[in-house]
Structure 1
Amino acid sequence: MRGRQVFFETLLNHGVDRIFGNPGTTESPLLDSLLDYPQIQYIVHLHEGVATGAANFYAQASGKTAFVNLHVAPGLGNAVGMIYGALKNNSPMVVTAGQQDTRLRLRDPVLGHDLAAIAAPVTKWSVQVETADELGPILQRAFKIANEAPAGPVFVALPINVMEQETSIPAGKPGHSFAATRPDPAGIAAMARLLLASTSPAIVAGDDVARAGAGDTLVKLAEKLGASVWFEGLRGRNSFPTDHASARGTLAFDAPGVAKQFADNDLVLMVGGPFFEEVWYAPGSPFPAGCKALQIEAAPSRLAYNFALDAGVVADVGAGLAALDVALATVAGKEFDAAAAKRNAALQALKESEAAAQKARVEKAWARTPTSMARAMAEIRAGTPENAIMADETITANLDLFKTFTFAGADDYFSGRGGGIGQGLAGAIGVAVAQPKRPVLCLSGDGSSMYSIQALWTAAHHDLAIVFVILANREYRVLKHNIDAYRARFDVKSNKPYMHMDLGSPTMGFVDMAKGMGVAGTYVAKADDIKAAVAAAFKTGKPHLIEIEIEGKR
């Protein structure tokens, strides 16, 4: 059996039915063998970064291990930023790249480099296969490491001659491992005691809650506690229904900001995340004085990583939450239940107040020209089917997005983590491949979209029903906000303009770009036309781009 046959048989053994890739010469053994393996579909992309970004979101939306094939050193280099995003997203992913013939190693061949070294900083494990005998075992190990908590990408370099070598070592097979850990009863009991004594608990729902399918358990626990529920500042999944009374929104990007949001809480329970990813340095703790900190994590490496805990438990996230729910039911009494009910009523009143405030915000901005972000979101929401999935990269429009759209389930919302831009359009491809029966809405700013605009061609090529909405404010708005923050934080007295942050000279024509890649497009300048344009785009059942002119930074 040749190495390339071992390669494909190993993929089939591990349930791979998609390869996200950009073809190249050193990938010839893979490409030439695809017809022999019709069970595997090759999702072709025009850029390695787009292929990797699509695979990242595919892993999240499918629950499978994503598989990527890139092209030698420059191709891997093109993908490094998106691999970083997958690492931050904790996406189980096996990334491969074709490598030059190992017999050329000392001759410094064209496109040659140490691929494993390039990928190592942004992966859990990085290795090159040296002989065909290693191919099955290495790929088997790659799938294992990619899926161990916390999940993430691994990298395997595949020299072209190794793929053609003969071997008697068979294809790798997945082990039937039952790795979900059960919580230590003593730890759960300690948490229950602390929660029972709390008068104002809060919960931070990390992405692992969604991955574990533990959203319903978390809802039950939040209601039992009368706890507010927060999301991390950047999140890739929806771990708690956003229209629930307990849902409070996203946390700030610096420690004092988070502490301010927790100011009325005497206990914070963190579940399934890295806690906390900050943008700006500021001294102090994210917890107010006297606040207890609890944490449940599937991976020991995450527990108490950034701060001391009053109680921490290593366990499968779903099992940990369920055990905590049972423990509280055992010890809670009428007095605790009454206090929790009172807190739930207060959270419901706060939710209604915030909804009224958003309604007033939209009404105040209703007639502005160009269209305000608040109204744009309201109109987009009105034109979007109820069962649509969101692939989000709105960044500065996040506030209005989350106050306008509601996301009930774990598979209703996907976004990128790590802060690298360009993940939205690429990621929408992966979501659509993973969830072909549901319409996909991709929201992106104009600046972000240009990092992965080639995704439009892939959407047309594979006939993916994605509505791409580009919010065109002709600027890197987030950078303008951040330079304001920089000046304030470092006491920089300045009335200088925002240098190199405007995108209007020349103005980018997204409808024309989409047309050039086989995607129909609609340009919308008036707010009154947004709802109809979005609804019409979804009715086509085809990829469609809508460019909406919105206001810039005011």
Structure 2
Amino acid sequence: MGTLAGRHAFLQILQAAGVDHMFGNPGTTELPMMDVLPDYPEMNYILTLQEGVAMAAADGYAMASGKLGVVNLHVAPGLGNAMGMLYDATKTSPPLLVTAGQQDGRYAFTEPILWGDLVRMVEPMTKWAYQIERVHDLPQALRRAIKVAMTPPTGPVFLGLPMDIMMAEAELDLSPPSQVGPRIRGDLEAMQQAAALLANAQHPVIIVGDGVSKSDALDEMVAVAEILGARVVSGTLPNTTAFPTDHPLYQGPMPRSQQAVRASLQEADVVLTVGAEMFTMSLYSDIEPLPPDVAVICLDVNPWEVGKNYAIDVAILGDPKATLSEMAPMIGNLMSEASRQTATQRAETLGRAKAEARQRLRAQAIEETSKTPMSALAMNHVLATTVPEDICIVDESLTSDVALRDLLPRRHPRDYFGLKGGGIGWGLPATVGATLAKRNQPVLGLIGDGSAMYNIQALWTAARYGLRSIFVICNNGQYLILKRRLHAYDGPAAKAQEYVGIDLVNPAIQFVNLANSLGVHGVRAEGATDFQQALKDALQRPGPTLIDVAIEADFPTA
């Protein structure tokens, strides 16, 4: 215990929790903290030019490091600027502490300029939200916020920091936050029921989600899949690598339409979901994606996801790593010799089919590299055969990530991150945050041209800190995903091929010029040879690079 100002207590408790990066764009209400940051040289304040950039960069940092990400925003308008990227963070759910300065509480009743009810604004998108009203509560509130953010299921929390609280002095307890052990094993009886269903399954399917990678449970998940010889698919919009993508049993991501999901699961008799949502769709259809008479087993550390939308035959609340490590031998002990032989045959059949499909895919990709502009498949083939096998990739290419993870070598869970929330603009700043987490190893961001323009200011932050970020802009001159949706509707726009508010031409966006103006080296790649050389050069460059890649589109631009 000692007498000190709230702002000092705030920074010292963060440091005790292992925080050494903070992302933000300061205003007047943040000046109490900014005033003393020079006294904490170990705290790296990362300046961004807009609050949405700060939020997504903190998200990318937390995902790639596994540590607490901290973002400091400026009162109600700054928090509002960040809300779109905070929505994405609720879906990627890394441990995030979101803070915002607040006007002096002594005149808050008058609703001064920039004041707002920050807690009400942010509550729907956070695990916990609170505004500190007494300096004596600051250490306890900060410790609680960090504990809640870091406890599975992890996710963003919020603290409002009024100026008077940050400046006030008191005797404050600077104890570090508590840590909750994550390895909660599922209920034993439920595990036994699940093992019995799986051991007798004739056509088992496993749906894996981000909960597998966050639990560091890939080895345990592979063990269960191999015992069963089960087909493995990832949930829609995967944020991380939840199963080795080159494993013979892995069959790619779950489709995003009800009809396609229904067809994919039509022969299944038992479905096991682990750390995955069931199911995330893009457009409404009255077709039920889950076939009737399929037994469903759900394992998740998040109680909200267990049985959220579908009746579950066996629901297990627990940490995937701890639970699967005990379930695997249970399943093996219950399987008959005939079941084991059938599982081996299933695995061999799936492995052969996958090997043949990958061979056809590579042949097609190589053939398409001769096109100018390249296809998205050809672009990804060049990327996969040029960059280091262990490079971290942040993927917000939306329509341009065709077979990307099928072409890449096996990914570590912290070497691939994809947009999950759907709020575009995440990829550029998330690449910046991931590069900081990787301690300036090269990180590659694969970004759609439309997405890039939402937070293009992130390029400046990459330049300011000399980050080895490589931004690949997949440039087809349009919001291609919207054109595809219009054709799915099959309405007047699709029939006439006239698209309002979707093309990004006339004028075309000059990404190279934008990059240069923000201090980032920019280069245009018109074909496969240009792209490969640009990647090689970028990997050797000490600072950031933007590569504007021309790729073909499904539909013409206006």
Instruction: State TM-score, norm by structure 1.
Output: 0.96
Q: Identify the match of residue 276 of structure 1 among 256, 275, 279.
A: 279
Instruction: Tell whether 2:87 aligns with 1:80.
Output: no
Instruction: Tell whether 2:403 aligns with 1:404.
Output: no
8 Å CA contact 1:183–1:323 kept in 2: the answer is no
8 Å CA contact 1:383–1:532 kept in 2: the answer is no
Aligned partner of residue 300 in structure 1, secondary structure: coil
Per the alignment, residue 509 of structure 2 pairs with 508
Amino acid at match of 1:329: G
CA–CA distance in structure 2, aligned partners of residues 508 and 442 of structure 1:
18
Aligned partner of residue 297 in structure 2, secondary structure: strand
Q: Flag as ranges the 4+ runs of structure 1 deviating above 4 A.
A: 491-494
CA–CA distance in structure 2, aligned partners of residues 167 and 256 of structure 1:
62
List aligned pairs for 1:70-469, cutoff 5 A: 70-171=73-174, 173-436=176-439, 438-469=441-472
* Corresponding pairs, count: 552
8 Å CA contact 2:440–2:467 kept in 1: the answer is no
1:357/1:14 CA distance change after superposition, 3 Å = same
Instruction: State TM-score, norm by structure 2.
Output: 0.95
Structure 1 residues without counterparts, runs of 5 or longer: none
Amino acid at match of 1:33: V
CA–CA distance in structure 1, aligned partners of residues 51 and 297 of structure 2:
40
Question: Percent identity of the aligned residues?
Answer: 37
CA–CA distance in structure 1, aligned partners of residues 183 and 369 of structure 2:
50
CA–CA distance in structure 2, aligned partners of residues 65 and 259 of structure 1:
39
CA–CA distance in structure 2, aligned partners of residues 493 and 449 of structure 1:
26
What's the offset of the Cα at 1:503? 0.5
Amino acid at match of 1:253: R
1:245/1:79 CA distance change after superposition, 3 Å = same
CA–CA distance in structure 2, aligned partners of residues 227 and 505 of structure 1:
50
8 Å CA contact 1:59–1:66 kept in 2: the answer is yes
- Per-residue CA deviations over 1:173-201 (Å, capped at 9, x if unaligned) read 32243353122221111111101111111
What's the offset of the Cα at 1:122? 1.4
What's the offset of the Cα at 1:496? 5.2
Structure 2 residues without counterparts, runs of 5 or longer: none
8 Å CA contact 2:132–2:160 kept in 1: the answer is yes
CA–CA distance in structure 2, aligned partners of residues 167 and 483 of structure 1:
61
CA–CA distance in structure 2, aligned partners of residues 446 and 292 of structure 1:
42
CA–CA distance in structure 2, aligned partners of residues 172 and 278 of structure 1:
45
Aligned partner of residue 88 in structure 1, secondary structure: helix
Amino acid at match of 2:400: A
What's the offset of the Cα at 1:416? 2.2
- Per-residue CA deviations over 1:30-52 (Å, capped at 9, x if unaligned) read 11111111221111111110110
Aligned partner of residue 503 in structure 2, secondary structure: coil
What's the offset of the Cα at 1:59? 1.3
8 Å CA contact 2:380–2:401 kept in 1: the answer is no
What's the offset of the Cα at 1:404? 2.1
What's the offset of the Cα at 1:412? 1.6
Amino acid at match of 1:526: G
What's the offset of the Cα at 1:364? 4.9
Report the more deviating stretch, 446-455 or 275-284.
Answer: 275-284
What's the offset of the Cα at 1:339? 0.9
Amino acid at match of 1:276: F
8 Å CA contact 2:523–2:534 kept in 1: the answer is yes
CA–CA distance in structure 1, aligned partners of residues 536 and 366 of structure 2:
22
Aligned partner of residue 39 in structure 1, secondary structure: coil
What's the offset of the Cα at 1:470? 0.5
Amino acid at match of 1:386: E
Amino acid at match of 1:322: S
- Per-residue CA deviations over 1:152-179 (Å, capped at 9, x if unaligned) read 1111111111101112232353224335
Amino acid at match of 1:484: H
What's the offset of the Cα at 1:367? 3.2
What's the offset of the Cα at 1:529? 1.6
CA–CA distance in structure 1, aligned partners of residues 502 and 418 of structure 2:
24
8 Å CA contact 2:493–2:499 kept in 1: the answer is no
